[in-house]
């Protein structure tokens, strides 16, 4: 919501009297230049009898009008704003003036747009689409909140997401067979900052049924797909109680997949069909970081 235009020391004189329904108001010559151009944003004026009441609040017929257009010295207004009532401003020998001043609408609009510090340094939840600052932005309260559903940005310099959570881990064999994970030992943790996701956890296998092929574990997000395989990452894994010794184990995350695959290497060759080495009571500790697709 845009706030009304404001200007300091802005008071104008109405050239003649008007009834309660007039909406085209002519000001004293030259006074139109004192007001902001409503084409850049409308605003309210307080219209009152300046001869009888130096303080507008004392005028029983004071009225708030909304300026929708300005042509030289002629205003187009909407009468009876903020419940002030439309009244005749046409008493003989009286001078009527309009002031661009703070009204209840302005205060309500400020309250809707800002939380705490008037001036825009503390936006209320959901009230800003863009908050710009040329210097340091301090989160003195210690927290910056992102929406539950990411509002993705294509700008490489824009942080658009932060999320902490858990996911249920599963192990599958790429060719055939099954691997059953203990329900009490199948929860992975993740922290996602922008496109980078960090996952960790502990898995305990309760039973297997002839697993064959690559050992695959699911991920909470899909891996990004970048050129030259640059989105592929490796993760640390410690698998214990395999059916045979396997050194230098690791998880590799592949582009466009919401999963990771376990590999082993002796420094000369890379072995990927590790599902057959998993058995009941195999435990796996893992820690992986990868770039997500959004």
Q: Are 231 and 291 in contact (CB under 8 A)?
A: yes
How much is the mean pLDDT over the chain?
91
Give the per-residue pLDDT at 132: 66
Structural domain boundaries, residue 244: 163-291
Give the per-residue pLDDT at 127: 53
Which of 107, 129, 152 marks a domain boundary? Answer: 107
Residues 167 and 274 in one domain: yes
Which of 40, 72, 107 marks a domain boundary? Answer: 107
Q: What is the pLDDT of residues 179-229, one digit of tens each?
A: 999 999 999 999 999 999 999 999 999 999 999 999 999 999 999 998 889
Q: Mean pLDDT throughout 5-19?
A: 96
Report how many domains make up the chain. Answer: 2
Q: Is residue 149 part of a domain?
A: no
Q: Is residue 20 part of a domain?
A: yes
Q: Is residue 227 part of a domain?
A: yes
Give the per-residue pLDDT at 118: 42
Q: Is residue 274 part of a domain?
A: yes
d(CA 234, CA 241): 22
Q: Is residue 250 part of a domain?
A: yes
Residues 169 and 97 in one domain: no
Which of 87, 107, 127 marks a domain boundary? Answer: 107
Residues 203 and 102 in one domain: no
Residues 98 and 204 in one domain: no
Q: What is the pLDDT of residues 245-291, one digit of tens each?
A: 998 999 999 999 999 999 999 889 999 999 999 999 999 999 999 99
- What predicted TM-score, i.e. pTM, was given to this entire model? 0.58
Residue 144: pLDDT over 80: yes
Residue 119: pLDDT over 90: no
Residue 150: pLDDT over 80: yes
Q: What is the pLDDT of residues 27-85, one digit of tens each?
A: 999 999 999 999 999 999 999 999 999 999 999 999 999 999 999 999 999 999 999 99
Q: Is residue 156 part of a domain?
A: no
Q: Is residue 148 part of a domain?
A: no
Give the per-residue pLDDT at 1: 65
Give the per-residue pLDDT at 145: 84
Residues 103 and 172 in one domain: no
Q: Is residue 67 part of a domain?
A: yes
For the chain, what percent of residues have pLDDT higher than 70? 93
Give the per-residue pLDDT at 117: 47
């Amino acid at each position: 919501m845009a706030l009304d235009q404001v200007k300091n020391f802005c008071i104008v004189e109405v050239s003649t009297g008007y009834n309660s329904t007039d909406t085209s108001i002519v000001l004293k010559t030259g006074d139109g230049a004192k007001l902001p151009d409503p084409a850049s944003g409308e605003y309210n004026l307080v219209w009152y009898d300046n001869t009888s009441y130096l303080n507008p609040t004392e005028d029983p017929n004071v009225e708030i009008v909304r300026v929708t257009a300005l042509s030289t010295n002629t205003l187009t207004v909407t009468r009876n704003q903020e419940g002030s009532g439309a009244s005749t401003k046409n008493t003989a020998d009286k001078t009527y003036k309009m002031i661009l001043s703070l009204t209840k609408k302005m205060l309500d609009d400020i309250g809707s747009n800002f939380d705490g510090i008037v001036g825009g340094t503390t936006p209320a939840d959901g009230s800003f689409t863009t908050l710009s600052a040329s210097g340091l932005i301090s989160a003195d309260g210690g927290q910056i909140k992102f929406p539950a559903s990411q509002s993705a940005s294509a700008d490489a310099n824009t942080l658009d997401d932060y999320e902490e959570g858990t996911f249920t881990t599963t192990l599958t064999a790429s060719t055939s067979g099954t691997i059953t994970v203990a329900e009490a030992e199948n929860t992975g943790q993740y922290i996602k900052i922008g496109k980078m996701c960090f996952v960790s956890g502990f898995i305990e296998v309760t039973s297997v049924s002839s697993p064959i092929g690559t050992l695959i574990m699911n991920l909470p997000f899909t891996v990004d797909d970048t050129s030259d395989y640059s989105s592929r990452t490796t993760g640390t894994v410690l698998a214990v109680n395999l059916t045979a010794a396997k050194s230098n184990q690791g998880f590799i995350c592949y582009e466009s997949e919401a999963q990771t695959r376990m590999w082993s290497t002796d420094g000369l060759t890379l072995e990927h069909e590790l599902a057959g080495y998993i058995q009941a009571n195999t435990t796996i500790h893992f820690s992986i970081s990868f770039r997500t697709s959004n």
